[in-house]
Structure 1
Amino acid sequence: MSWHEAVAIVALVGVLAFAVARPRNYPEAVAAVPAAALVLVTGGIGLDQAWRQITDLLPVVVFLMAILVIADACDAEGLFTSLGGLLNTTARGHPRRLLTWVFVVASLTTAVLSLDATVVLLTPVVVASALRARVSPRPHVYACTHLANSASLLLPVSNLTNLLALSTSGLSFLSFAGLMLVPWLAVIVVEYAVFRRFFAGDLREQASAAAPDRPGEGGRPEADTPTRERLPVVALVVVGLVLAGFAVAQPFGLEPVWFAVAGAVVLSGDGLRRRRLTPRRVGRAVSLDFALFVLGLGVVVSAVAAGGLGRAVDTILPSGTSFLALLGVAAVAALLANLVNNLPAMLLLLPLLGAGGPGPVLAALIGVNVGPNLTYVGSLATLLWRRTLRQRGIDPALREFLSLGALTVPVTLVVAVVALWGSLAVVGP
């Protein structure tokens, strides 16, 4: 290993450690941007290669920023408060019914508004709904983090890793969704079955003590309790139009990113006009610091990939589109995600898989989306979920998280790859 490679690996480890620890709540870009500059100065990557990586990532990052603005504007319009009211109304204090509806709502929220919306905006609503129903919040909050990762398989907008995969796979928005629909459904069903068994005690013990229909009984505080049930029509219509725009963009030679930007402008503009949003809140939702983090991380990962780690991963990656080859790619991707986080893992894998067609790319996507449920460091969304819970006085147990991950990840990985292999055989790339 050359000293250039060693510097790049140390820089990557440092960026990820900073992202996990977030000292003094500093943004991740505080470490990523200097690390990118370091690998440039030390010769780990050339300026031309770094600029190419940034320009390749920039449309994806702008797309992500627009989706985050849309999700925050939907929150300002009361969408997540309405979803909380829907959970309360449909569950009526029954923990199993609440878990079912949390799975439905979290899966759709992740798919349409991205996994960040699920961990940041939906998780607090789920906590409040469980407390209001006087049931243990454990199964329901764990469902939020698991589905933020595994239920992000469906649409390109569901996860930043999906956007990266879409740009490499050569698939259209509709083709991507068509191939990932069955794996998405299969993973959710398996997760639900494991959750019902793993949390059987929580669900069974509380079932006989279901909360009465009248809110506020039982001494629970009603602060932060969602009560609104009317869904914001304008926000949902705009989101629907944006998704429709994604579907028709490619046949008309349009870039999907412009539909996302248009939706963000419309919803944020309407929110500002009606004073539901402030310029400062919109600025926070844009998450420019996270955009800089992704771009800086991309440069660092390019330097690592150009060195020994990229060659090592390339030697163990299976080739072809057989079931075993796709399963091998997914397994390597999952392992890599839990070693270096899913975003760097996808950035590292895509240049190695791009020539193999959409099958291996989507198999790697399954690995980096499902695999992070195994450990805390697998995805930034999981770390953000943990921080969100701690702010509300809930500290998830590491042993329980690891046990649940060990039960879900291997089986969901296999089931999802089986479903992808079948989809490729039936639908074709």
Structure 2
Amino acid sequence: MAGRNGRTVRDLRRANRRAVLQRLYFDGPLSRFELGPATGLSSGSVSNVVADLIGDGLVEEAGSVDSDGGRPRTLLRVTPDSGHMIGVDVGETRVRVELFDLTLTELARAERPLEQQRYEVDVIVDHIHAGITEVLAAAGLAPERLLGVGIGVPGIVEHTPDRGAVVHGQTIGWDAIELESLLRSGSPLPEGVPCFIDNGARTLGQAEMWFGAGRGARNALVVLFGSGVGACLVTPEAEHGRAVEWGHLTVRVRGRRCRCGALGCLEAYAGAESLLARWREEGGRVPRGADEETALTAMLAAAYPPDGTAADPVALAVLEETAEYLGAGLSDLINLFQPERILMGGWAGLQLGARFLPAVRTHALSYALRHPAENVTIELGSLGPDAVTVGAAILPLADFFARGGRRPDPDPESPPPAWHRALRERTPH
């Protein structure tokens, strides 16, 4: 039965369960007494919801605290092993797969280097399948217990009703790749375990906003600085974040050719790939055969020698120019979106770290309009190199919360998506 606002009793119960679960998840352990004002629910509703969640094994008692003149109050918390998620980061140099419990404690991980097979779709799919199998075996976990698998990828992710998630990754040579369908083919997971695919910058932003340096901000930008650059915009209208193809903003007319094919993109000057290419072009000694992370470490050591010897002037000049391009790119984001907080993450951003950030900050604020520049802070992300993987795992977790802590029920009346039918047709009878 629907009420005046169109919400059914089922909708109300789901919302109440979600409110209690999320408060316990982010602020617990809490008592039933504390949950009332924290969620806006009546004491009776809190008691009913808590009893329901305990019955489902999602919430458990976690000791007690003294109350003012009364009986001790029992504390409640989310049960860590009541759900599990897998997060996958399809990065520039490797595919990383991590298994987490419901509280995002890492239980197992697997990594597969990409090396010379970078972004070959079949290789990526095989790495993801193998990584999922490996982490489940390491933890002794049945795949049926997963709430889902989240995957962060480069490029624009289009969610279609008939083909699932389709990835448009122009810079990596992916043209409308039906990744969800490919992952379902030969998957080690049961059909009922959902797969969530999104842009890696958005999963990074999700992680920083939930658990990192973005907590408490209403308007924020989380920047991913890796082989290329991207960003995630978080506003009250897009509270879960929206990926922004910031790396392909034009910063120089008729400039360097970007790996997307256009001229003068920010990524052609500010990504680690272009940074190392410019160092090489200017005569820098880039280690032969080294991956980008190793090469960037060598460049930093050349520009900022740890032993006090003379710096490599070419490496230093390229890094300083890169800081200015990044700062100019950030100033555009500041002027466009007026965020209160900008966070820089990604493996290259973290590797350049505190030594690089002050120059980026100075250039960003000098290029931006005065008023928004005075109201923004620019800092490093706080979750380290695993932030994209953690954010990917949050995708099924957020869906689980939205369902009030219930797993999705199959809808027998809904026609199966096209990828589902295609798999059945390819299966030998």
TM-score using structure 1 length: 0.27
Q: Which has the larger radius of gyration?
A: 2
Structure with greater contact order relative to length (CA < 8 Å, sep ≥ 6)? 1
More helix per residue: 1
More strand per residue: 2
